[in-house]
Amino acid sequence: EHGFRLPSALDNRPLRFDEFEARIPQFIYVSATPGDYELRVSQNDVEQIIRPTGLLDPKIDVRPVRGQIDDLEDEIRERVARKERVLVTTLTKRMAEDLTDHLLDAGIKVNYMHSDTATMDRVEILRTLREGKIDVLVGINLLREGLDLPEVSLVAILDADKEGFLRNRRSLIQTIGRAARNADGEVIMYADVVTDSMKAAIEETRRRREIQMAYNEEHGIVPKTVRKAINDISSFIAEAEKTVGSKGRSKGDSLGHGAFYTPDESGEGGVPETVAPEQTLAEQLEELPHDELVRIVETMEEDMRNASAVMDFEEAARLRDAVVQIRAMLEGVSEDETIERLRSQARKGSTFASGRKRQGARFKK
């Protein structure tokens, strides 16, 4: 009679944005770069600019596009000599890969990261950067990584004058902030003209820098680079790879699965090297916040479904093993119990689907 949807589905449809607004009388928007809508509807603005560490927003230098690669190479070598790291943002995958190849040929330890890089590979690449096994990371949209890398003292923005999503005011401010964890943080924008977005981002960074400088002077604070432990799930990845191997599946030798590029002794190109785990799986997981583990496992589950959809069952199985281990740790049960629960859910349908059925039955009565 009703097809695939009960009448109650109308009551449980997603709200339109105006309907959502009407039901929520108060909002608190939290953002480093609030959007136009948030600024328009906000009745009060509260800024939290002062950092207790005294760290200043980075200095910004605008340089011409002509000769940018040679100039960038010189800047990278200067940071490498100081045992610091560099982030470089490009606009295309091809440019990221070509720049990486060029820097490898120049004898610089570098890797790239873009949308084709798997989630687990991203974690490993970021760890190798923090550990100094690579000195430079080239990327496109480094904003989505949520990078917090105190070792990074230079962020280079190529084609900074090309207006668009990755070069608008908010994106530039966020990209600039990647160098704000280091006391010697600096940003170089390579551009032939100063766009409105660049001008606004530079002015906002200058404003924040001056506020922090005044506070530091008043309270006698000397900025110091943040010291942060290198804690992530790379050892968990290595453990998951061992589990995959023990069950007779190939580990895979592609770049990113516990590997990175480093120049050979002659400086002629790069070869992959293996990263050895430093902590046990249990020790590594215990160091991660619960919310971070939940976010990681949800991302892995999405990647697992995507791999299964394109019939990459080997990758899907590898991710499944990883998900089971994290879920078991989060829920405080054995892996066998976790597997059985997941199988039971698969047979009966998801928890969300079951809830919808019960809700529909209640409305029907």
Q: 158: domain CATH number? A: 3.40.50.300
Cβ(205)–Cβ(176) below 8 Å: yes
State which amino acid sits at residue 125: I
The parent domain of residue 63 ranges over 59-219
**111: its two tokens:** 């890797």
* DSSP symbols for 179-228: GTTSTT-EEEEE-SS--HHHHHHHHHHHHHHHHHHHHHHHHT--------
Confirm whether 294 is domain-assigned: no
Q: What is the pLDDT of residue 346?
A: 59
Q: What is the pLDDT of residue 303?
A: 85
**Number of separate domains in the chain:** 1
Under DSSP, the state recorded for 165 is G
Confirm whether 203 is domain-assigned: yes
Confirm whether 336 is domain-assigned: no
Q: What is the pLDDT of residue 102?
A: 93
Confirm whether 195 is domain-assigned: yes
Confirm whether 358 is domain-assigned: no
**265: its two tokens:** 């002794």
Half-sphere exposure of 137 (CA within 13 A, CB side): 32
Mean pLDDT by 10 residues, the chain (365 residues): 74 85 86 84 88 92 94 95 94 90 92 80 85 91 69 94 88 90 94 95 95 94 80 52 44 38 45 43 61 80 81 79 81 79 60 40 40
Confirm whether 240 is domain-assigned: no
Q: What is the pLDDT of residue 287?
A: 64
Helix segments in the chain, DSSP class H: 8-11, 17-23, 36-41, 68-81, 93-105, 119-131, 169-176, 196-219, 234-246, 281-287, 290-309, 313-331, 335-348, 351-364
Q: What is the pLDDT of residue 153?
A: 94
Q: Indicate the helix (H) or strand (E) that contains 157.
A: strand 152-157
Cβ(281)–Cβ(235) below 8 Å: yes
Confirm whether 13 is domain-assigned: no
Confirm whether 332 is domain-assigned: no
